[in-house]
Amino acid sequence: MATPDKVAAVEEITARFREANAVVVTEYRGLSVPQLAELRGKLSGAATYRVAKNTLTALAAKEAGVEGIDDLFVGPTAIAFITGDPVEAAKALKEFSKANEALVIKGGVLEGNAISAELINKLADLESREVLLAKAAGAMQASLVNAAYMFQAPLSKAARAADALRAKQEDAA
């Protein structure tokens, strides 16, 4: 029989699943309360980190329409609900797990698709959205500069040819 507390917890987790751009499921066995607080601080702005009961989380994921992660809800589970940049949150989780081996990234969901821990680590290795956008803008600008040069080249060649012809005529006269 469901208690009102459990129903409320499932509703809250369901809402978080629906609001999140991505979700990362972790195992936190062996982490102290100060370490969890440190991790929450590193994730602030990009994600919220919540310890949750596996059965309630599985029910919430099912209600939210999230599939393919039921097998991750084993052992002590905590979930990072990412509402900001998924790359930034993945980097924070990966860096923290390197410093604290007790944090194990199990897998997650990105844009409705289940992803493995390896894919989350690859996501963490990507550059931030701002850096990627700056690189794309630089590449587009370089293409425009090359195009402008190519349009000016025939005109400058014609001007140099006319100038050489004029100089040749002045020398002949």
Q: How confident is the model over 86-145, as pLDDT tens digits?
A: 888 888 898 898 888 888 889 889 888 888 888 888 888 777 777 778 878 877 887 777
Phi-psi category of 107—alpha, beta or left, where left has phi over 0 and alpha has psi -120 to 50?
A: left
Task: Using the structure block, give the residue that is written with the tokens 């006269």.
Answer: 173
Banded pLDDT at 173 (limits 50, 70, 90):
low
**Rounded to two decimals, what is the model's pTM?**
0.70
Q: Where are the alpha helices (DSSP H) in the chain?
A: 4-19, 33-43, 54-64, 86-99, 117-125, 129-172
Other residues' Cβ atoms within 10 Å of the Cβ of residue 21: 16
Instruction: Tell me the two tokens of residue 10.
Output: 């499932």
Q: What pLDDT is stored for residue 81 in this prediction? A: 92
Which residue type is seen at 116?
S
3-state class of 160 per DSSP?
A: helix
Provide CATH code, domain 4-126: 3.30.70.1730
140 and 146 in contact (C-beta within 8 Å)? Answer: no
> Do 78 and 7 form a contact (C-beta atoms < 8 A)?
no
* E-state strands within the chain: 22-27, 47-52, 77-82, 104-110, 113-116
Please check the confidence at residue 67 and state whether its pLDDT lies above 70: yes
